[in-house]
Amino acid sequence: MKKGLRIRLYPNNKQINTLNIIFGHTRFVYNYFLDYSKNSKDYKYTNWSKMLTTLKNSDDTIFLKEADKFALQNSLKNLNRAYENFFSKRANEPVFKKKHNAQSYRTNYTNNNIVLYEKGIKLPKLGIIKCKYGKDIKDNKIINVTVKLLKSGIYEASIIYECEEKTLLKTGNSVGIDLGIRKLITTSDNDKYISDLDIDRLNKKIRKEQKRLSKRTLHSNNWNKQRRKLAKVYQYKDHYMLDTIHKATKAIVEKYDTIYMEDLDIKDLLSKQKLKIHKREMLLSSLGQITTLLKYKCERYGKELKKIERYYPSSQTCSHCGKTYRVGKSETYRCPHCKLIIDRDYNAALNILNYGLSHN
């Protein structure tokens, strides 16, 4: 099976210059062939590849030989994939890449050109770059590496490698889960997975850094420094939430064989939020990302993820007597029929499990 590993890179000044050259050349190739395809209506990758060979041998664009050959070819493949998504109506039309956005390129493994050491990684055209990672994959076959320069100024490498498929032991347990904003995941066993991120403090820091950025001259050195500071705050928030979600979903998949959840329409839920603060809270809770991670982890480890009917009123139904009652925005469900008092999300998770077991 294929897996991915993200590692932090610490390039020296010479390697940074080489990386900037590769980023620039891959961006040039992407934009060149995007412009060519718009004018000529030629969208064939094979034709682009032949033209790229001609460009590399031309006097005006011989500088392209300075870059990693796989990086240039993969830039064409990315453009080809972007057009395929556009023509299949899965995405908008490709746009030109800009220098000030996050930069990246992908290189492929061949003839031992990529080697992972204890405190470094060898990459084509760059030599050995210092890096930091916590998982030992030196004995696994590397397929490709994507090098990224994030908006925060941090360099990362995403390594795709092959490894033996691992299966989790079957437990025979089933669970219903309710996704929410206040509590990310609540299970029918009353386990709660909550993010410890201090949102108010983080939003206050973002406003502070954003205010400083607005006072800088656009694209000046001070503006770029402040832009990276702001990007680091956003990056911290994203990484923290992703780490929390990964740990929660892995724990659930390890503990249960069958997982029942609601078939949520995230776009519809967002459109119903009238206040911006509620939209931000829903986006931060990453409901769609939780679903995506659960789905692929269940497929990887041989577990089942089943979705119940989208419009089943799990939050408004009493898990004890089965009668419905509009609970409103209260975190506690108080049934007026059987006098049950229970946590709202726990009640919804129990209903999801019961509904899933009775309809499957």
The confidence score (pLDDT) of residue 266 equals 64
In this structure, the answer to whether residues 125 and 204 fall within a common structural domain is no
Please spell the DSSP secondary structure of 133-191, one letter per residue: -SS--TTSEEEEEEEEE-TTS-EEEEEEEE-----PPP---EEEEEE-SSSSEEETT--
Which is more confidently placed, 120 or 266? 120
Task: Tell me, yes or no, whether 151 and 213 share the same domain.
Answer: no
Give 24 or 201, the one with higher predicted confidence: 24
The answer to whether residue 241 sits within a structural domain is yes
Catalytic residue among 196, 200, 262, 309, which?
262
- How confident is the prediction for the chain on average, in pLDDT? 90
Task: Report the pLDDT averaged over residues 20-33.
Answer: 97
Query: pLDDT tens digit string along 45-70?
Result: 999 999 999 999 999 999 999 999 99
What is the model's pLDDT at position 360? 72
pTM of the model: 0.82
Give the end of a domain, one of 122, 139, 162. 162
**Domain identity same for 10 and 144:** yes
Give the pLDDT score at 278. Answer: 52
pLDDT for residue 229: 94
- The yes-or-no verdict on residue 353 having pLDDT over 90 is yes
- Residue 33 within any structural domain of the chain: yes
167 within domain boundaries: no
As a whole number of angstroms, the distance between CA 341 and CA 335 comes to: 7
pLDDT given at position 184: 87
Provide the domain limits for residue 198.
174-358
219 HSE (CA, 13 A, CB side): 3
Please count the structural domains in the chain: 2
Percent of the chain with pLDDT over 70: 94
Q: Band the pLDDT of 9: cuts 50, 70, 90.
A: very high
CA proximity to 149, closest of 21, 272, 293: 21
180 and 266 both lie in a single domain: yes
Cα separation, 30 vs 90, whole angstroms? 20
**Do 197 and 157 share a structural domain?**
no
Same structural domain, 137 and 209: no
Q: Where are the beta strands (DSSP E) in 246-288?
A: 258-262
- What is the identity of the amino acid at 136? D
**211 with 292, same domain?**
yes
169 found inside a domain = no
95 and 132 in a single domain? The answer is yes
Q: What CATH number does the domain containing 247 carry?
A: 3.30.420
Instruction: Answer for the pair 155, 19: CB distance below 8 angstroms, yes or no.
Output: yes
Residue 97 has pLDDT above 90, yes or no: yes
Give the residue from 132, 162, 192 where a domain finishes: 162
Last residue of a domain, one of 133, 162, 191: 162
Residue 242 lies in a domain: yes
Contact 149, 19 (CB under 8 A): yes
**83 lies in the same domain as 224:** no
CB distance 114 to 145 below 8 Å: yes
Query: Positive or negative CA dihedral for 109, 115, 116, 122?
Result: negative
Give the model confidence (pLDDT) of 234-284 as tens digits: 999 888 888 999 999 999 999 999 999 998 876 666 665 655 555 555 555
Asked whether residue 25 falls in the same domain as residue 63, the answer is yes
Residue 207 domain-assigned (yes or no):
yes
Region 198-227 average pLDDT: 91
Considering the chain, what percentage of its residues have pLDDT values greater than 90? 66
pLDDT at 342: 93
Q: For the segment 299-347, what is each residue's pLDDT rounded down to a tens digit?
A: 888 899 999 988 899 989 999 999 998 888 788 999 998 999 999 999 9
Check residue 100 and give its pLDDT. Answer: 80
The verdict on whether 178 is a catalytic residue reads yes
Check 68, 209, 257, 345 and give the catalytic one: 345
Q: Is 122 a domain residue? A: yes
Q: What is the pLDDT of residues 135-180, one digit of tens each?
A: 778 778 999 999 999 999 999 999 999 988 777 889 999 999 998 8
Per the annotation, the verdict on 262 as an active-site residue is: yes
Annotated active-site residue in 68, 178, 209, 257: 178
Tokens of 348: 């919804």
268 noted as active-site residue: no
Q: Is the pLDDT of residue 29 over 90?
A: yes
Strand runs (DSSP E) across 208-284, as ranges?
Answer: 258-262
